[in-house]
Amino acid sequence: MSDAYDDQNIFAKILRGEIPSFKVYEDDDTLCFMDINPRTDGHCLVIPKTPCRNILDATPAQLAACMKTVNIVANAAKKAFDADGITLSQFSEAAGGQEVFHLHFHIHPRHTGVPMRPLAPGDMDAIKRHAEMIVAALG
């Protein structure tokens, strides 16, 4: 299997506006949008705007930019869902559980004692509403 960046991956298409997404936040270097198979309410993804496959080929600048956005969105998501905490996850390469090969960080608002759901298609109206809740909490 090649470890080269493939610009036809689904997140590259979202970045180019070729397929839709529920945008939560963006700055010059990163984009955050909702995961369409949410494992918790408010499950969203932070990606760099520049090509990068995963944690293994990311530059320090890409990682720093993503963590800055993770910090901003995680606080907004915690507030929006009145969550008790946040789970941040990242999978690199197929063996690590990665399915989309553009670097991304999952942000999951968590409530005490509530497990994450299995990966399954979400209700699009609910996902849209949840995006709006995070956007509102960003102020």
Query: d(Cα 28, Cα 31) in Å, to the nearest integer?
Result: 8
Is residue 36 within the footprint of ligand AMP (CB under 6 A)? yes
Please state the closest distance from residue 8 (CB atom) to ligand AMP, in A: 13
Stretch that binds ligand AMP, among 29-37, 56-64, 73-81, 108-116 (CB under 6 A): 29-37
How many Cβ atoms sit within 10 Å of the Cβ of residue 48? Answer: 24
Active-site residue flag, 43: no
Q: What gap in Å lies between CA 16 and CA 18, rounded to an integer?
A: 5
Rounded-to-integer distance, Cα 134 and Cα 73, Å: 8
Which residues are paired to 86 by β-bridges? 109
Our CB check for ligand AMP shows the closer of 87 and 98 to be 98
Nearer to ligand AMP, 65 or 131 (CB): 131
Establish if 92 lies at the interface with ligand AMP (CB under 6 A): no
- Rounded to whole angstroms, the Cα distance separating 81 from 111 reads 9
Report the interface residues with ligand AMP, using CB under 6 A: 10, 21, 35-37, 91, 97-100, 104, 119
- The residues that are catalytic are 104
